[in-house]
Amino acid sequence: MSFWWIAGILLAGLWTSRLVGAFFGVRQLADLTRPGWQQASSNRPRVSVIVPARNEQAGIEAGLRSLLELDYENYEVIAVNDRSTDSTGEIIDRLAAEAPQKLKSIHIENLPSGWLGKPHAMWRAAQRAAGDWLLFTDADVVFHPASVARAIHYAQQSRCDHLVLFPTMVMRGLWERTIIGFFQCFFLFGYRPWKAPDPRARDFLGVGAFNLIRRQAYEQLGTFAALRMEVIEDMKLGKLVKQHGFTQRAALGRDLVRIRWAQGGLGVIRNLTKNFFAFMHFQWWRALGACLGVGFLALGPYLGLALAPGAAKISYAVALLAIFLVYVGMSRQCDIPPYYFVLHALGGVLFIYAILRSASVTWWNDGISWRGTKYSLEELRKGLV
Q: Are residue 93 and residue 132 in the same domain, yes or no?
A: yes
Q: Are 350 and 179 in contact (CB under 8 A)?
A: yes
Total-model pTM:
0.92
61 or 332, which is more confident: 61
Residue 183 located in a structural domain: no
Give the percent of the chain with pLDDT over 90: 76
- CB 350 within 8 Å of CB 45: no
Is there a domain that residue 179 lies in? no
pLDDT at 130 over 90: yes
What's the maximum distance between 2 C-alpha atoms anywhere in the chain? 73
**Statement to judge: residues 314 and 203 lie in one domain:** no
At residue 188 the predicted structure's pLDDT band, cuts being 50, 70 and 90, is: confident
pLDDT in tens, 16-57: 999 999 899 999 999 999 887 766 666 789 999 999 999 999
pLDDT value of residue 1: 65
Domain end position, chosen among 227, 242, 261: 261
Same domain, residue pair 229 and 85:
yes
Can you give the pLDDT at residue 212? 98
- In the prediction, which pLDDT does 148 show? 96
Compute the C-alpha angle 197/198/201, nearest 5°: 125
For residue 340, being part of any structural domain is answered with yes
- Among 216, 238, 261, identify where a domain stops: 261
More confidently predicted of 275 and 216 = 216
- Say if CB 301 and CB 18 are below 8 A apart: no
Percent pLDDT > 70 in the chain is 98
For residues 98 and 209, membership in a common domain is answered with yes
Q: What domain range is 48 assigned to? A: 30-172+191-261
pLDDT digits (tens, 9 = 90+) for 90-122: 999 999 999 999 999 999 999 999 999 999 999
Residue 224 shares a structural domain with residue 247: yes
Q: In terms of pLDDT, which residue wins out, 169 or 40?
A: 169
- 339 contact partners, CB below 8 Å, separation of at least 6: none
Q: Which of 204, 228, 261 is the last residue of a domain?
A: 261
User: d(Cα 58, Cα 62) in Å, to the nearest integer?
Assistant: 9
Judged against a pLDDT cut of 90, whether residue 333 lies above it is answered with no
168 forms bridges with which residues in the sheet?
A: 258
User: What does the pLDDT look like over 246-295, one tens digit per residue?
Assistant: 999 999 999 999 999 888 888 888 888 888 888 888 999 999 999 999 99
Residue 199 domain-assigned? Answer: yes
Q: What mean pLDDT, rounded, does the chain reach?
A: 92
Residue 353 in any domain: the answer is yes
Which residue, 150, 141, 130, is CA-closest to 52? 141
Q: What is the pLDDT of residues 313-324, one digit of tens each?
A: 999 999 999 999
pLDDT at 40: 60
Residue 277 sits in the same domain as residue 249: no
